[in-house]
């Protein structure tokens, strides 16, 4: 079984060190690291790494997680002889038995897998849970807020899902060779993995969530995105998605989501800059502007 790890990093050298340490312990045939023009010491540190499995790709500017995964996926599909590609960010890392567990899976009917993602505490990382059924309509969006379990997989059992997170997604090389162009680099941050995976599932590919495949995501879940620039990308991308043929959300659902974000921004952000980020996100989404 020939496996490749694809990692995207930007200015998180401490976490990248932990990520690469855990990754190097596993028998990956190739390890691709896309350095999104980091301005800390990431580039120098990566140059000093000697493992022959490493391939370092450095971009000229920060093209975000979406652009980084697209860049790395294109490199793998074009230049590497591999079979399975494992996606994850620099603040995530595979558990020690990940490849052993993956090797035991029956892959006859699946070319795409979604892993279970845990926080270092052992709790589920909610931001990386895939949709069993995407809440596409406005009604489903409201219902998802009330009964999310209707749209999420049972995290204790294998189950087919409609989306995956780029933390712990595993794709066969055949998928990358045919569909890498569908990773929308313009999204930069947020919904890039949801859009890509939803397109794949709507095109007839089955995605299997397996709780035996485990990644750790060393992230802070209490970060208030309603007080920082991340809210811009969330809103901009939602508006941007409204015209996409394979948008995972209807136009009414997108409107509801933006209204909810605005309310939460006022309630939790309490910062005029947060409101300005939302307004700018709406404008740039309509204009289909690329992120700066």
Phi and psi of 65, rounded to 5°?
Answer: -60, -40
pLDDT in tens, 201-221: 999 999 999 999 999 999 987
Tens-digit pLDDT profile for residues 232-247 = 999 999 999 988 888 9
Using CA atoms, how far residue 229 sits from 28, 85, 111, 232, in Å, is 35, 31, 36, 5
pTM of the model: 0.94
Tokens of 64: 């975000």
Average pLDDT rounded to a whole number, residues 117-141: 96
289 — pLDDT class (breaks 50, 70, 90): low
> pLDDT at residue 223 above 70?
no
Query: Of the ranges 45-54, 119-128, 135-144, 263-272, which one carries the lowest mean pLDDT score?
Result: 263-272
Q: Round the average pLDDT of the chain to a whole number and report it.
A: 93
Contact predicate 240/147, CB 8 Å:
no
Structural domains of the chain, with CATH: 3-217 (3.90.550.60), 225-287 (no CATH)
Distances (CA, A) of 264 to 121, 192, 227, 285: 27, 23, 10, 20
Tokens representing 163 are 């989306």
- The stretch 70-97 carries a mean pLDDT of 97
State whether the Cα torsion 142-145-146-147 is positive or negative: positive
């Amino acid at each position: 079984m020939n496996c490749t790890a694809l990692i995207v990093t930007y200015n998180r050298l401490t976490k990248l060190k932990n990520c690469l340490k855990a990754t190097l312990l596993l028998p990956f045939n190739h390890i691709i690291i896309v350095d999104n023009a980091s301005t800390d010491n990431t580039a120098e540190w990566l140059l000093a790494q000697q493992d022959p499995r490493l391939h370092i790709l450095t971009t000229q500017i920060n093209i975000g997680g979406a652009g980084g995964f697209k860049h790395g996926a294109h490199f793998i599909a074009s230049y590497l002889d591999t079979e399975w590609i494992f996606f994850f960010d620099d603040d995530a890392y595979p558990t020690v038995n990940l490849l052993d567990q993956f090797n035991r899976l029956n892959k006859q009917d699946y070319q795409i897998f979604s892993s279970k993602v845990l926080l270092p505490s052992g709790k589920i990382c909610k931001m990386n849970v895939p949709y069993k059924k995407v809440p596409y309509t406005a009604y489903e969006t409201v219902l998802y807020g009330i009964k999310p379990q209707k749209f999420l997989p049972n995290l204790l059992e294998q189950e087919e899902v409609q989306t995956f997170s780029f933390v712990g997604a595993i794709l066969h090389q055949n998928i990358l060779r045919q569909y890498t162009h569908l990773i929308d680099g313009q999204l930069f941050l947020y919904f890039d993995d949801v859009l890509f995976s939803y397109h794949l599932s709507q095109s007839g590919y089955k995605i299997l969530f397996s709780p035996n495949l485990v990644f750790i995501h060393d992230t802070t879940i209490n970060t208030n995105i309603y007080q920082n620039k991340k809210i811009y990308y969330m809103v901009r991308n939602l508006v941007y998605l409204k015209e996409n043929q394979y948008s995972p959300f209807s136009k009414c659902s997108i409107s509801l989501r933006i209204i909810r974000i605005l309310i939460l921004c006022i309630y939790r952000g309490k910062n005029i800059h947060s409101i300005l980020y939302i307004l700018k996100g709406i404008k740039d989404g309509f204009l289909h502007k690329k992120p700066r």
